[in-house]
Amino acid sequence: MNRKVRELKAYPMDRLVRAKEELRRKGVKIYDFGTGDPKEPTAPFIREALKKAVPEVSQYPTVKGKPELRKAISEWFFNRFGVELDPESEIIPSAGSKEAIFHFPLVFVDTDGPKTKVVFGTPGYPVYERGALFAGGEAVPVELKEEDAFLLRLDKLPKSLLEETAIVWINYPHNPTGAVAPLSYLEEIYGICRENGIILCSDECYTEIYFNEPPHSALEVGREGVVVFHSLSKRSGLTGYRSGFVAGDREIIKTYLRYRSSFGVASPDFIQEAARVAWLDEGHVAERREIFRQKKEIFEEFFKKIGLKHLPVEATFYFWVKLPEGVSGEEYALHLLNYGIVISPGEFFGKGGEGYFRIALVPTPAQCREAVEIWEEAHREFMERLS
């Protein structure tokens, strides 16, 4: 086994799953703010489209995907970002964004060439690092700083590193901090990547969960050397359906498509039909945003009441919360587990996560209101123990 892969810690969310299983065995009621898998029902019209599309005879789907789905994605992208994508040559449907993010370096990191490095921000989504390592590349985490608004600053990296970099991953709106990238930042990072022959990969699966201004796409600033990854998991509540897409530079898309059949990741046709109708509808997305807004307001009031500071929540359904001085995320999370409240310690997301914890606005608004009452008591007890 690849030594670097062998040395990786257990996937952080797997640790949360085990902790929740232990609580269930003890009969504790769980308020799960750990894994970002919201509980709102999938819109009925999407479920109905899927059921109607289940065929009598099952056959292999194509990796390129159904043209009707690619056309729907192209229409959505133009309506949302003002960017025209050719559904024939610039879009590939994917089984969610995670598998596509993981597989991408397998195709585009040449381990025999001079550009073997994959740069990504930390704290962040663990798959950027894991995909690079499984591909035999060199993973280069760059610590994101609050003073930089948690933006990955390539302009602060050595020129020698950039020259050896094959891929840069950005993720805005950002998991876990919720940070949003202005268009000027995307223009800057695009220019640096073009100057150094780097593929700019933008994980944009949270662009549709926002509360004021809609976030931007990297494809708004340029197409050459740019690939974006989108998903219906957060936008439409299709986490279990596994449906998304990859889009951008047509030469990169052409090359990626050539090798994706090796991974066996084509989505079933009935999933693609559900995805098609989801991309063509904005009403259910607006309804989901409103529900997340309700949850957001509950926790904004709650954290203010108990004196915990957090990053402003402009997008995503995450709160990135600063811990009391001298307290570790794991210590605080273990205490809350005694009350059935599950959170993610910041250190789960890599270097730079220390001193914070993340909550995902997963439970219903009613469950959130219940949880904050229990959490307030748990927090008071924790702080009394510290003093």
HSE of 15, CA atoms in CB hemisphere, 13 A: 14
Instruction: Give the model's pLDDT for residue 25.
Output: 80
Instruction: Give the model's pLDDT for residue 33.
Output: 95
The pair of three-digit structure tokens given for residue 358, joined into one six-digit string? 């993340």
Instruction: Give the model's pLDDT for residue 27.
Output: 80
Q: What is the pTM of this model?
A: 0.94
| CA angle centred on 173, ends 137 and 76, rounded to 5° | 100
Cα 278 versus chain centre, distance: 19
DSSP letters, 309-337, are -B---SBSSEEEEEPPTT--HHHHHHHHH
pLDDT tens-place values along the chain, 387 residues long: 566 666 666 655 566 667 777 777 878 889 999 888 888 999 999 999 999 999 999 999 999 999 999 999 999 999 999 999 999 999 999 999 999 999 999 999 999 999 999 999 999 999 999 999 999 999 999 999 999 999 999 999 999 999 999 999 999 999 999 999 999 999 999 999 999 999 999 999 999 999 999 999 999 999 999 999 999 999 999 999 999 999 999 999 999 999 998 887 888 999 999 999 999 999 999 999 999 999 999 999 999 999 999 999 999 999 999 999 889 888 899 899 989 999 999 998 999 999 999 999 999 999 999 999 999 999 999 999 887
Instruction: Give the model's pLDDT for residue 10.
Output: 60
d(CA 142, CA 89): 33
Instruction: Give the model's pLDDT for residue 36.
Output: 85
Any idea which residue has 């969310």 for tokens? 13
Instruction: Give the model's pLDDT for residue 37.
Output: 86
Domain ranges of the chain: 3-42+283-386, 44-279
For domain 3-42+283-386, the question of CATH label 3.40.50.280 is answered with: no
Per the CB < 8 A criterion, the answer to whether 251 and 257 are in contact is no
Instruction: Give the model's pLDDT for residue 155.
Output: 97
Alpha helices, DSSP H, located in the chain: 3-6, 12-25, 44-53, 67-81, 98-108, 127-134, 159-163, 183-195, 232-236, 250-260, 269-279, 283-306, 329-337, 365-386
Instruction: Give the model's pLDDT for residue 13.
Output: 56
Distances (CA, A) of 151 to 16, 146, 166, 313: 27, 8, 19, 15
Top-level CATH class of 44-279? alpha beta
